[in-house]
Amino acid sequence: MEAGSRFAQRHGRLINIFHYGGVYLQDLLIRGGNSLKGQVKISGSKNAILPIMAACLLSDGEIILNGVPDLEDIKVMSEVLEILGAVIKRQDDVLVINCSSVDACEVPEYISRKMRASNLVMGALLSRFGRARVAYPGGCAIGSRPMDLHLKGFINLGYEVADEYGYMSGLKKNAAGKEIMLDFPSVGATENIIMASALIPGTTIIRNAAREPEIIDLQNFLNRMGAKIRGAGLDCIRVEGVDRLGGVEHTVIPDRIEAGTFMAAAAITRGDVYLENVIHEHIQPTIAKLRETGAEIILNGSGIRIIGNKKIRATDVKTMPYPGFPTDMQPQFMALLSVARGTSVIVETIFENRFMHVPELRRMGAEIKIEGRVAIIKGKSHLEGAVVEATDLRAGAALILAGLYAEGETRLGHLEHVERGYENIHLKLKNLGADLGFHP
C-alpha cells in the first residue's frame, strides 16, 4: 500500500498528503452492499463556523470557538483571517482567534476563488475598519453565485461601494442603520449585512432575511460579544449598532447537512444508525422527506435513530430556503431516489446548475431525465459500481451514497471537494460498516 494510503488510513483523511496542483492522487474505493449500523457523532456546522469566523474581525478581544471540525473550507477561512493580520491557534476541535492586531483589509483573488464564503469578511471589515477590498468569489460548479444582494445592502447602509478589476471595494463614509429589503432571502447577504450593521450608528432592519439556523448561531455569537441583534430565524432581523465588540467563548451548532447526509446513507443501505449531536428542529425538512420514502426515524434527547426501509418509496422534492427542504441535501436525496420504487421529481429552485452529479449517477445506471431545474428520477432496483468524479461538495457525497448501495466497486475521484465539508467521512462510514479503501 502506498505510503500516502497508509497515512490516509491512519489519519482517516480521505485524501493523500501527496497532491499535485490541488489534484489529489488518490481516489476513494467504495464496495457496495453493506448496511450501515452503529452510531456516529455529527461535527460542528461548516456553514455556521464560516460566518462566525468572519465575525471575529468585529472583535478586539480573544475568541474561543469549540466544536470546530478539521475541514478544508475552515483552513481557507483561517488563511483569509491570517492574511488580514489575525492570530489563530487550533487545539483539537477548538479554534482560538484574536483579531486585535488586524491591520489589512484586502482579500486577494487567489483566496476568493478558492472559497466563495471568503466574501463574508467584507461586512465585518467595513463595519470595524471602515474599508474593505475583496476579490469577487467567482462562480463554482453549482452556479454563478453573484454578490449583487450583498453590495446592494452595503450601499443601502451608506457605504461607498465600487466594482473595480474583479474586486469589490467599500468605504464607510456616512454609513448608518437603515431599512433593507432583500430581493431574495440570501444566506450570505443576510450574514454580511448583519456584520456590516453591527458597528455603525443607528438601527438596521433587514426584511426578507434568510431564516437558516446558521444565522441564529451567528446572532447568538455576536450578542455574546456585546452586539444587539434580534429576529434571526425570522424574516425580519433588527441590528442596533454598538461601539465595540469584545471576546467570547462559543460552541458551534451541529452540522444539519452532515446529519442529513448520514441519515440518507442509513436509508439507502437499509441500515440502522444512531446520530449523536443533532438539533432536531434544524433537520425537520429532511426528516419529513425521509419518512415519505419509508424510513423509520426516532428522535430522542440530542440524538436521532434512523432505520432504513427495505422498500424505498419514491417521493417528490422541491428545494426551498429554510425551513423548506435544503438545496444542500438535494444531490444526496437524488442518489436515494435513484433506487426508490417508482418515479420521483426533484425541483432545484435555489441554484441554476446543481445537477452536476446527474451524469455521474447515470454512469452507475441511474435513470434520470433533466428538464431545466427539474429532474425526473425513475427508480431502479440495481446500480453498478463505476469510476465517477465529484464535481462539488454535495455531489461527491451523493456519489458516496450511491456507491454504498451499488453492486461492485465504485471509484470516486476529486475527493478534495468532499474534504471541504465532511470531517473524516471515510472513517465515520467505515466505523458504521462501510467497505471503503483507497486507489493510489
Near ligand EPZ in 283-342, by CB under 6 A = 327-328
* Chain centre distance of CA 324: 16
What's the DSSP call for residue 329? G
105 is catalytic: no
Query: Does residue 184 interact with ligand EPZ by CB under 6 A?
Result: yes
Which of 42, 50, 375, 401 binds ligand EPZ (CB under 6 A)? It is: 50
Q: Which residues, in sequence order, are CB contacts of 12 under 8 Å at separation 6+?
A: 424, 426, 427
Query: Minimum Å distance from CB 247 to ligand EPZ?
Result: 24
Which of 187, 194, 306, 390 binds ligand EPZ (CB under 6 A)? It is: 187
Which of 40, 102, 149, 215 binds ligand EPZ (CB under 6 A)? It is: 149
Of 56, 105, 140, 236, which is the active-site residue? Answer: 140
Q: How many CB atoms lie within 10 A of CB 220?
A: 17
What's the DSSP call for residue 143? B
**3-state class of 381 per DSSP?**
coil
Which of 180, 209, 350, 364 binds ligand EPZ (CB under 6 A)? It is: 350
Query: Does residue 147 interact with ligand EPZ by CB under 6 A?
Result: yes
Q: Around 391, how many Cα atoms within 13 Å sit in the side-chain half-sphere?
A: 15
Helix residue ranges per DSSP H, 269-356: 284-292, 330-337
Q: How far is CA 81 from each of CA 104, 128, 143, rounded to the nearest angstrom?
A: 10, 14, 26
Number of residues that bind ligand EPZ (CB under 6 A): 24
Q: Which residues, in sequence order, are CB contacts of 81 under 8 Å at separation 6+?
A: 53, 56, 57, 88, 97, 99, 102, 121
Nearer to ligand EPZ, 116 or 414 (CB): 116
- How many Å from the N-terminal Cα to the C-terminal Cα in the chain? 8
What's the DSSP call for residue 208? S
Stretch that binds ligand EPZ, among 15-23, 140-148, 270-278, 359-367 (CB under 6 A): 140-148
Query: Does residue 252 interact with ligand EPZ by CB under 6 A?
Result: no
Stretch that binds ligand EPZ, among 55-63, 184-192, 266-274, 426-434 (CB under 6 A): 184-192
Stretch that binds ligand EPZ, among 104-112, 121-129, 186-194, 368-376 (CB under 6 A): 186-194
- Cα pseudo-dihedral 59, 63, 66, 68, rounded to 10: 60
Nearer to ligand EPZ, 190 or 269 (CB): 190
Query: Does residue 282 interact with ligand EPZ by CB under 6 A?
Result: no
Which of 97, 117, 222, 275 binds ligand EPZ (CB under 6 A)? It is: 117
Stretch that binds ligand EPZ, among 8-16, 97-105, 183-191, 193-201 (CB under 6 A): 183-191
Q: Which amino acid does the sequence have at 336?
A: L
**8 A C-beta contact, residue 86 and residue 95:** no
Which of 13, 116, 211, 282 binds ligand EPZ (CB under 6 A)? It is: 116
**8 A C-beta contact, residue 197 and residue 209:** no
Binding site for ligand EPZ (CB under 6 A): 47, 50, 116-117, 143, 145-150, 184, 186-189, 210, 327-328, 350-351, 393-394, 421
The residues that are catalytic are 140
